[in-house]
Structure 1
Amino acid sequence: MAPKFGTSGLRGLVVELTPELVTSYTHAFLEACDTGSAVRIGWDLRPSSPEIAKAVIDAIAAAGGTAIEDGALPTPALALAALSEGQSAIMVTGSHIPADRNGLKFYTPNGEISKDDEVAILATLGVVANGIGKKMNSQGEAIAAYIARYVDGFGTDALRGLRIGIYQHSSVARETMVKVVQALGGEAVPLAWSDTFIPVDTEAVDPETRAQLAGWCKENNLDALISTDGDADRPMVADATGEIVAGDVLGPLTARLLGAEQICTPVSSNTMVDAIPEFSDIVRTRIGSPYVIAAMETGNVTKVVGYEANGGFLLGYTADGPAGSLAPLMTRDCLLPILAPLYMARKAGCGLAELVAGLPSRFTATDRLTGIATDVSGPFLESLCADAVARTAFFTGMPAEKDVDLTDGLRVTFAGGDIVHLRPSGNAPEFRCYAESSSTERAGKLLAMFLEKTKTLLA
């Protein structure tokens, strides 16, 4: 499968991300987009990332630009540094997908590239850029500024008294999370450092990992357990029992703490947010942060935030944190939706589970089928979208359709409130299934039922 360029930048097999291809996309980005005074470069902990980053840095210098090497660091830390300095950035990461794949994420001085930027970059591929540029090293200033953002915003007592486990695996934020928890007064308990890259998808955590989280919480007497995906733009948070709090639950809690007036979130996110009284302005988008960002930039509301079902949170204004201000960050962030719910639970004198229990009772479950190419899943999904008879046959045993939403894939709401959402991944050969219901058990049952049925039809 050839490398693909879309909502998450460039993605492909490592063997196909040749220096020539990386150079071509880097030069096209420099030519097609505003890149500010310099381009910052960071990478995740995949074995292939440093070498790909070197190709990016060399390409920038060969085009006459200034390349600032930030090293291995969280994607939101790189983006924050670029936004703060009027610079652009390229992050070398494949996010949550396996280590045999990698990619590039592009940022202009205004944040993530837009859909228009994508079109312009593709149209400029093949440009030959020549010049004499320079290479610089940031000496860790980006990570320091990222940590300071949360210390300044939440204060040094925000997590006082909390014992927090940190599933480190191969997250590029594994050391940063420890430092932040400690800086906010909490006790950090590092767990399961890995020298081998582990692809963690915060939307589809496997049963073995869930059991491991529960075991760690019990063995270490934890108040909560936190982690991220590979490049740390998606959070993973578990309560004291090891039960994972879904990303589209972390989002509304974080928005509530910050006093947001408008929420922009994909159509796949939990509808529980619609039942929270203080959130009257909710904009639904296609799935992918560029669509969320476009919606955030369209309205006239000042206090606007965005979040995705994977937990990545976007802040569109200077918000008041518990101890100080939090600067805007128009890219998916992992730390803000981790820290906000933990702080809220501590302030309320309850556990994270009790805090979540106070929200409207809507529960989601999601998972994916891997190795499913879009030329296989596409016709299957198109037939369901276009044919009510085909949908009735596929959803045998379900109540009558109440609503069919084709914003992104096929999202069917049934009489009684159950929801099933099917769509191909936009950046990997995967097919995702989302389910929502009034209980965790029912949501899980729906997910298992229709994921297995889809697997049978597509295998």
Structure 2
Amino acid sequence: MAAAFGTSGLRGPATDFTGRVCMAYVTAFLERCGEASGRTAYVGADLRDSSPRISGQCLAAIKAAGWTPVWAGNVPTPALAAYAMARSAPAIMITGSHIPETYNGIKFYRPDGEFLKDDEAPVRVRAEAILAEGRDVAAIEPGAPLADVAGSYVRRYVDAFGPDALAGLRIGIDLHSAVGRDLTAGIFEGLGASCHAFRRVEHFIAVDTEALDPDDIARARKIISDEKLDAVVSTDGDGDRPLVIDETGRQINGDVLGVLTSRLIGTKTVVTPLSSTSAIEQSGWFETVARTRIGSPYVVAAMASATLHPVAGFEANGGFLLGDDVVLAKGTLTALPTRDAILPAVASLVLARKEGLTLSALAATLPPRFMKADRVKDVAADKARIFLGEIEMSRTFRRNFDARVADPIEISTLDGVRMAFANGDTVHFRQSGNAPEMRIYVETGSVEATDTLLGELIEKLQSAF
């Protein structure tokens, strides 16, 4: 699989991000940006082994294009995006997000926000032309960060929520190899929480907040019990997807975090993909709920057309997109229309404290709908297309796969194949846009039923591939 645009950004095997590829795509991207503020572009990266090399190649490509490259360091994707957007400058994040370490990616940010689907084709065509010319670059050593992106990100939340927002709470911080691990701890401590940090590792771990390793849950549950914690908080590798585990040791799904965050900040319009729980509509908390395909560019595009404000978006992975400035307890939190992990983690705890509830009790105020996802790895795109075609068109195929999915009352092909059933359950199959994986999303009326159905369907998917 060569480097190509996926659900969000350019993704592929790390070895595919050569000097020539970085030169071509970075040059094409900067041309797409036009004459941005000062012709300055910011670059950040996650902690993958391949990220320093790719970062150096992108810095060199920016310089070769006649722009000024600014190295932001190893910072979360939303931290880099917020800093660059505030300066009307483009940004480039080197990250493979939650996919395996052997892969990596380049995520582009225009001076005015996310790189959208409409940007992909022109940049790809131009990049292919530059590749044909044979241009190449030698990597620049990134060195020390040249901008205080990290400090700006911490101040963003402490200044808006205030230093006592989480006073009295004991929060565990699962550090692992998340690029913003120390910033996460700094933010929660800055908000008044007492933090217990654990599991700092030096090798990269691909943490997928939608398909969490059971060992991660078991570890967090034990630490919550041993340390008497109110929650455990973490993120994926590049800090744009939250992980929140409540005081009982159960993960709060990302879309639930999104609903709670939207409620706290007074959102009127919610934009979210098909994979998010139907409890959003059933809650009655929002005036408008718009559904999209999976991927933050689709969410951003739909947010731009909203007529009722404030508008916010989120995905089932928990990444929260803030479309408008909002006034909070101590200050204004400025708009950040790209996936962010910190806001939903903080906001859910602030709301629980405000309501005098535990996190688990707060989550239980939502209608009882439970969505969970899993994946089968190493699924070739051609095989995935055949499977999705059969599951959509053939009742016989569905019945042979699993009798419970034989007779949906509705089938949507907006993104993969999503089937709704008479009992209210949904089953959604889609090929990942970022990695060769088949994903499945299951929603039912109870945690146990969701876990059971998802587990049994995953076994059948594994057999099918």
Structure-1-length-normalised TM-score: 0.96
Q: CA deviation at 1:136?
A: 10
Match of 1:323 among 324, 327, 330: 330
Aligned partner of 1:273 in structure 2 is 280
> Could you say what the CA RMSD is over the residues aligned between the two structures, in angstroms?
1.8
Query: Match for 1:6: what amino acid?
Result: G
Q: CA separation of 1:362/1:167 partners in 2, compared to 1, >3 Å: closer, same or farther? A: same
Tell me which residue corresponds to 1:29: 29
Amino acid at match of 2:192: G
Q: Which residue of 2 aligns with 1:224?
A: 231
Matched, 1:160 2:162: no
| 1:401 counterpart SS class | coil
Using the alignment, how far apart are the partners of 1:168 and 1:65 within structure 2?
A: 35
Partner secondary structure for residue 45 of structure 1: coil
Does 2:18 correspond to 1:18? Answer: yes
Task: Show the counterpart of 1:45.
Answer: 47
Offset of 1:395 from its aligned partner?
A: 3.3
Deviation string, structure 1 residues 421-451 (Cα, Å, up to 9, x no partner): 1111011011101111110000011101111
Residue identity matched to 2:164: D
Taking structure 1 as reference, are residues 336 and 82 closer, same or farther at Cα in structure 2, changes over 3 Å only? same
2:317 alignment counterpart: 310
Aligned: 1:118 with 2:120? yes
Change (3 A) 1:267 1:336: same
CA deviations over 1:325-377 (Å, ceiling 9, x no partner):
11000100000000001011112222111111111110112110111111111
Determine if the alignment matches structure 1 residue 242 to structure 2 residue 244: no
Deviation of 1:399 (Å): 7.6
- The one-letter code of the counterpart of 2:229 is L
Do 2:19 and 2:136's aligned partners in 1 also have CA atoms closer than 8 Å? no
CA deviations on 1:74-124 (whole Å, 9 max, x unpaired) are: 000000001000100000000011111111000001111111111110111
2: distance between equivalents of 1:138 and 1:205?
32
Q: Is the 8 A contact 1:48 1:102 kept in 2?
A: yes
Q: 1:359 aligns with which of 349, 362, 366?
A: 366
Identity of aligned residues (%): 44
Residue aligning to 2:4: 4
Q: Which one of the candidate residues 374, 381, 386 is aligned to 2:381? A: 374
Distance across 2 between alignment mates of 1:284 and 1:35: 34
Residue of structure 2 equivalent to 1:109? 111
CA drift of 1:32 comes to: 2.4
Aligned residue number for residue 88 of structure 1:
90
2:63 aligned with 1:56, yes or no?
A: no
> Counterpart amino acid of 1:289?
S
Residue in 1 aligned with 2:437? 430
The separation in 1 between residues aligned to 2:196 and 2:319, in whole angstroms, is 23
The Cα shift of 1:283 comes to 0.4
Structure 1 Cα separation of the partners of residues 202 and 248 of structure 2:
27
Q: What is the letter of the counterpart of residue 464 of structure 2?
A: L
Paired with 1:263 and 1:287, the residues of 2 have a C-alpha distance of 15
Give the letter aligned to residue 369 of structure 1.
V
* 1:53 Cα deviation after fit: 0.3
Separation of aligned partners in 1, 2:272 and 2:439: 18
The letter of the residue matching 1:320 is V
Unpaired stretches in structure 1, ≥5 consecutive residues: none
Give 1:21's aligned amino acid: V
Structure 1 Cα separation of the partners of residues 93 and 23 of structure 2? 14
The structural deviation recorded for 1:137 is 6.7
Shift of 1:221: 1.1
- Provide structure 2 residue ranges, at least 5 long, that are not aligned to the other structure: none
Aligned-pair distance for 1:241?
Answer: 2.1
Amino acid in the other structure paired with 1:352: L
Between the aligned partners of 1:24 and 1:39, the Cα distance in structure 2 is: 16
In structure 1, what is the Cα distance between the partners aligned to 2:212 and 2:260? 21
Q: What one-letter code is carried by the residue in structure 1 that aligns with 2:431? A: P
1:136-158 Cα offsets, whole Å, 9 max, x none, are 97544111111111011111100
1:455 to partner: Cα distance: 1.3
Amino acid at match of 1:73: V
Q: Secondary structure at the match of 1:322?
A: coil
**Alpha-carbon distance in 1 for matches of 2:6, 2:254:** 23
> Given that residues 99 and 434 in structure 2 are in contact (C-alpha distance below 8 angstroms), is that contact kept between their aligned partners in structure 1?
no
TM-score by length of 2: 0.95
| Shift of residue 398, structure 1, vs aligned partner | 5.1
Once structures 1 and 2 are overlaid, which stretch shifts more, 269-278 or 122-131?
122-131
1:266·1:288 contact (CA, 8 Å) conserved in 2?
yes
Q: Distance in 2 between matches of 1:231 and 1:35?
A: 28
Task: Check whether the contact 1:66–1:136 (CA below 8 A) recurs between aligned residues.
Answer: no
Rate the CA distance shift 1:319–1:5 in 2: closer, same or farther, 3 A: same
For each residue in 1:178-206, what CA deviation from the matched residue of structure 2 results, as whole angstroms up to 9, or x when unmatched? 10011000001111000111100000002
Q: CA deviation at 1:280?
A: 3.1
Q: Secondary structure at the match of 1:106?
A: strand
Contact 2:72 2:145 in 1 (8 A): yes
Deviations 1:45-66 (A, max 9, x none): 1111111100000111011001
